[in-house]
Amino acid sequence: MAKRKVRVSEETFDEFLAEQGILGACEERAIKELIAEQLTEAMKTQGITKTAMAERMKTSRRQLDRLLDPTTPSVTLDTLQRAASAVGRTLKVELV
């Protein structure tokens, strides 16, 4: 059996994504997934149902489902702040 040479790239994954033109979209989705996961975990820990969470946020259950769905990209800072407040947390946004 012949050995194949494996090409090793010095390129980082971020560089690859940037080259493909999708780095920003991937970062946004990852952030949205993290926030949705943190909110879901806080709700679970505190025993808050989706219906109760929507009531606390003064929104609909459908809107909450969009917030918790990482594939739905558009969420306002106001919505994120209300969601964080509803589970007793604060939203921290920073530029690095």
Domain definitions of the chain by residue range: 13-86
Tens of pLDDT, residues 36-60: 999 999 999 999 999 999 999 999 9
Tens of pLDDT, residues 72-85: 877 888 999 999 99
Q: What is the third-level CATH fold of 13-86? A: 434 Repressor (Amino-terminal Domain) (1.10.260)
Task: Report d(CA 56, CA 82) in Å as an integer.
Answer: 8
Residue pair 59/88 in contact by the 8 Å Cβ criterion: no
Determine if the pTM surpasses 0.85.
Answer: no
